[in-house]
C-alpha cells in the first residue's frame, strides 16, 4: 500500500489559486510532503509576478505553469522561452491556436532549455475548458460537433504538432486515448471528490474515476485549498487514488 500511496501522491497537482506569493508558499509548506506538483495559474502569476515560480522551485517543488498561451506563433514562442527560463516543469498553450503556434512553442521551449543546459519542460495544450457545458459549446462558441469530438480532434492536432499532451476534462480521457495512444499525457482539471461541491466546473469526475479512465495527472484546487485542513483533504484524495492503483 505504501508504494501505491507514493504513486498516488505523484499524480496529484494542487492548484495554488491564491492572491499572494506568501499564501502560495504557505500552502506548499502544508502540502509539499503529500503532493507531487503545484499549479500556478493566472490568478497567482499576474498578482505575484514571475518571481513566484522561482520561489517555488527554490522550495524544491515541481511547477505546472498554467498560463494558456494563445497568440500568433512568434509571440507564443518568445513567451514560452521566458517561461522555460523561469524553471517551470510543465507549460501550456491553447490548442485552438493551431498547429503552427503549438509547434513554435514546443521548438522554442526545447531550444531554450538546451541553451540553459537543463531538461525541457513538458508542453501541453488546453482543449475545451471544463467550465464549458454542451449548450455554451454549441450556442455560444458556435461549434456544430459535440465536445468529445472537438477535444479528440484538438488532441490529435496537439500530438502532430510535437507537444507532450493535453489538458482536458476527465469526461474526454477515453476518446483522447483512442486518438492519441497510451503514451500521450493527459492532465485533468474538473476533479471533484464526492464530498466536495462542483463550483463553476461543469464536466467533472471524482479522483478515482478519472484515474481509472487513464488520467496522467489530476488537478485539484478548492476541494483541498478551500478546506480548514488542506493536508487532511489532500490525504483523503491520495488514499482514494491509491485504492484504484
CATH assignment at residue 110: 3.20.20.70
Active-site residue identified among 68, 89, 153, 236: 68
Lowest mean pLDDT among 26-30, 38-42, 157-161, 226-230: 226-230
The predicted pLDDT at position 211 comes to 87
Higher pLDDT: 195 or 31? It is 31
Average pLDDT, the chain: 92
- In eight-state DSSP terms, residue 218 is E
Higher pLDDT: 228 or 204? It is 228
Higher pLDDT: 190 or 185? It is 185
Lowest mean pLDDT among 82-86, 147-151, 154-158: 147-151
The predicted pLDDT at position 108 comes to 98
Closest by CA position to 166, among listed 51, 26, 45, 66 = 66
The predicted pLDDT at position 89 comes to 98
The Cα–Cα gap between 224 and 235 comes to 9
The predicted pLDDT at position 218 comes to 94
Whether this model's pTM surpasses 0.95? no
Active-site residue identified among 11, 30, 66, 164: 66
68 assigned to active site? yes
51 assigned to active site? no
- The residue ranges of DSSP E strands in the chain, in sequence order, are 12-15, 37-40, 63-69, 90-94, 122-126, 165-167, 185-188, 217-220
Residue 185 · residue 218 · CB < 8 Å: no
71 assigned to active site? yes
- Domain total of the chain: 1
Residue 101 lies in domain: 2-242
Higher pLDDT: 101 or 200? It is 101
Amino acid at each position: 500500500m505504501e508504494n501505491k500511496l507514493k504513486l498516488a501522491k505523484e499524480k496529484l497537482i494542487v492548484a495554488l489559486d491564491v492572491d499572494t506569493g506568501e499564501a502560495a508558499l504557505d500552502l506548499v509548506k502544508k502540502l509539499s510532503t503529500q503532493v507531487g506538483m503545484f499549479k500556478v495559474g493566472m490568478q497567482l502569476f499576474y498578482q505575484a509576478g514571475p518571481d513566484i515560480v522561482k520561489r517555488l522551485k527554490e522550495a524544491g517543488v515541481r511547477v505546472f505553469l498554467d498560463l494558456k498561451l494563445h497568440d500568433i506563433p512568434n509571440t507564443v514562442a518568445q513567451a514560452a522561452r521566458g517561461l522555460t527560463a523561469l524553471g517551470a516543469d510543465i507549460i501550456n498553450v491553447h490548442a485552438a491556436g493551431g498547429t503552427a503556434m503549438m509547434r513554435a512553442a514546443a521548438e522554442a521551449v526545447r531550444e531554450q532549455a538546451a541553451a540553459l543546459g537543463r531538461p525541457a519542460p513538458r508542453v501541453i495544450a488546453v482543449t475545451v475548458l471544463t467550465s464549458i457545458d454542451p449548450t455554451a459549446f454549441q450556442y455560444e462558441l458556435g461549434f456544430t460537433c459535440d465536445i468529445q469530438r472537438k477535444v479528440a480532434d484538438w488532441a490529435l492536432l496537439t500530438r502532430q504538432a510535437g507537444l507532450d499532451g493535453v489538458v482536458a476534462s476527465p469526461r474526454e480521457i477515453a476518446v483522447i486515448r483512442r486518438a492519441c495512444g497510451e503514451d500521450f499525457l493527459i492532465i485533468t482539471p474538473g476533479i471533484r471528490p464526492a464530498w466536495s461541491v462542483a463550483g463553476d466546473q461543469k464536466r467533472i469526475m471524482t479522483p478515482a474515476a478519472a484515474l481509472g479512465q487513464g488520467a496522467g495527472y489530476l488537478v485539484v484546487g478548492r476541494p483541498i485549498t478551500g478546506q480548514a485542513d488542506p493536508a487532511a483533504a489532500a490525504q483523503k484524495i491520495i488514499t482514494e487514488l491509491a485504492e484504484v492503483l
